[in-house]
Amino acid sequence: MAKKLFILAMLYFIMANLAFFLGNGGYSGSVAVTIVLGFILLSSFFCGKITERLKLPMLTGYLLSGIIFGPSVLAVFKPQNVEQLRLVDSIAFGYIALSAGGEIRWETLARQARTVFAVGIAQLVFVFAGVFAVFYPLLKYSALNLSFGGGMALYAAILMALVAVSTSPAATVAIVSETGSSGKMTETTFGVVVVGDVAVFSLYAFVSSWILADISGPVGVSLPELARSVFYGVVVSLTVGALLGAVVLAYLKAIAGEMVLFTLGLTVIAAVIASHWHLNMLLICIMVGFAVCNFSPDGQKFIHSIEKGAMPIFIIFFSLAGAGLDLGVIKAMWLTALLYFAVRFVLMWGATTGAAKLLRQPEGMRKYLWGGFISQAGVSLGLAMMIRSQFPGWGEALSTLIIAEIAMCEIAGPIIFKRTLMAAGEAGKQESSTVLRRKPLTHKPTA
């Protein structure tokens, strides 16, 4: 560990001197992007190794590296550097969604459909209702010193409750990969996370459109029209995903070469399509992963190509997530964010554990299944950013509060999930290679 700390100190010394010679205005241009990207990869990798030695997830190290070296603490790289690397977010979302979709096997989903949908519905109903019941009166009567009055308090409470239901496919994929976990609890967690976030995205599209229509008054769109619009958006996204899946299946059958580059290109194409036609990239890539891994004998080859290319993408993604956290904002709102975190934690634990007990699941599932649903990261941050952009004024304050709560989930969630996987005895059961194991760049994947 001492050697890794020394390396981090040397990296910081080098970057600090570069900043001195280049001036205090921060880096700019393509050279700056290259310098910052190299620093993020190296510093986050070694921070991940340090947290691994402390028996914490490597993902936690990536987040801490972004926080420590980012704009809020040491400011080795500046906010503009973070924005210059935001393209990685779309690619990372693509990899995460492809991996999550690939983990859903039709036979497994059919076998565990009752558990997946029961747990997902329990979380949606109880977490949403519980968060709304706690925060609506607090926001309405200004008990939290936030400027939400009248109808805005209702909108804010609904959005807070909806974001609280969302989880983190990124953290799920990363921790399962790091620990090499496999088993019923792991499969169920993947199923609930993917199905749940698909539902949250669909509901958010409906709710945000309703709020905008309600604010605009009688000229707003009717609820049936909103429902049809959201429904068509989901169906079209899944259809596009199925078509891209067919392209991947044809490629695997005819060529099946340079899979890492092909997968990278696929995520970029999916991002462009989603942006141009206002579709959901997460749904598109989930459907691609699901189609390839369920309808092709070469599905595992596709997944291994994702694993081989995903490690640097995940390192950058989680480091940027840490760097994007404004510690000043978190400090100002930490009590309210802590209440939000605590309410969500208790409700998520209660809903998941209660559903597992009602379904008479094995003891390990009843005791530890909840641990996979505490994390929040990219999906929740994306929702927070959409709230900020769609609802100027009160939406900015609400987004800040949500981001402060997500910061707590980003740190605590992966640690809890790793511990519960180990306690359930599913860690280390996956023999195939993974994206975040000890030798991710040298080992050969096995089917």
Nearest alpha carbon to residue 197 among 109, 282, 90: 282
Pick the range with the lowest mean pLDDT from 110-119, 262-271, 322-331, 419-428: 322-331
What average pLDDT does this structure show over 104-119? 80
Question: Exposed (0-12), middle (13-18) or buried (19+): which is 432, by Cβ within 10 Å?
Answer: middle
pLDDT in tens, 30-61: 677 788 888 999 999 999 889 888 877 777 78
Whole-number pLDDT of residue 21: 62
Whole-number pLDDT of residue 441: 34
What average pLDDT does this structure show over 385-410? 80
Q: Is the pLDDT of residue 329 over 60?
A: yes
Whole-number pLDDT of residue 439: 38
Task: Break the chain into its structural domains and give their ranges.
Answer: 2-85, 89-423
Are residues 279 and 238 in contact, defined by beta-carbon separation less than 8 angstroms?
no
Q: Is the pLDDT of residue 258 over 70?
A: yes
Grade residue 106 by pLDDT with cuts at 50, 70 and 90: confident
Nearest alpha carbon to residue 285 among 174, 194, 171: 194
Whole-number pLDDT of residue 222: 64
342 compared with 268, residue with greater pLDDT: 342
Place of tokens 């997500």: 406
**Long-range interactions of 428-432: CB distance < 8 A, separation 24+:** 428/179, 428/180, 428/181, 429/180, 429/181, 429/182, 429/183, 430/176, 430/180, 430/181, 430/182, 431/180, 432/300, 432/304
Q: Is the pLDDT of residue 440 over 60?
A: no
Radius of gyration of the chain (CA): 22
Fold topology of 89-423: Na+/H+ antiporter like fold (1.20.1530)
Grade residue 303 by pLDDT with cuts at 50, 70 and 90: confident
Using CA atoms, how far apart are residues 406 and 410, in angstroms rounded to an integer?
6
Whole-number pLDDT of residue 446: 33
Whole-number pLDDT of residue 218: 55
pTM over 0.85: no
Nearest alpha carbon to residue 48 among 35, 71, 64: 64
For 362, which DSSP code?
-
Whole-number pLDDT of residue 149: 57
For the chain, give the mean pLDDT.
Answer: 80
330 compared with 9, residue with greater pLDDT: 9
What average pLDDT does this structure show over 90-103? 77
What average pLDDT does this structure show over 177-204? 84
pLDDT in tens, 142-177: 656 565 655 688 889 999 999 999 888 777 877 888
Whole-number pLDDT of residue 371: 92
Are residues 17 and 23 in contact, defined by beta-carbon separation less than 8 angstroms?
no
How many Cβ atoms are within 10 Å of 425's Cβ, its own excluded?
13
For 75, which DSSP code?
-
Amino acid making up residue 129: A
Grade residue 355 by pLDDT with cuts at 50, 70 and 90: very high
The DSSP code sequence of 289-308 is: HHHHHHH-TTHHHHHHHHHH
What average pLDDT does this structure show over 386-396? 78
Q: Is the pLDDT of residue 192 over 80?
A: yes
Whole-number pLDDT of residue 217: 61
Whole-number pLDDT of residue 146: 62
Amino acid making up residue 74: L
77 compared with 164, residue with greater pLDDT: 164
Whole-number pLDDT of residue 354: 94
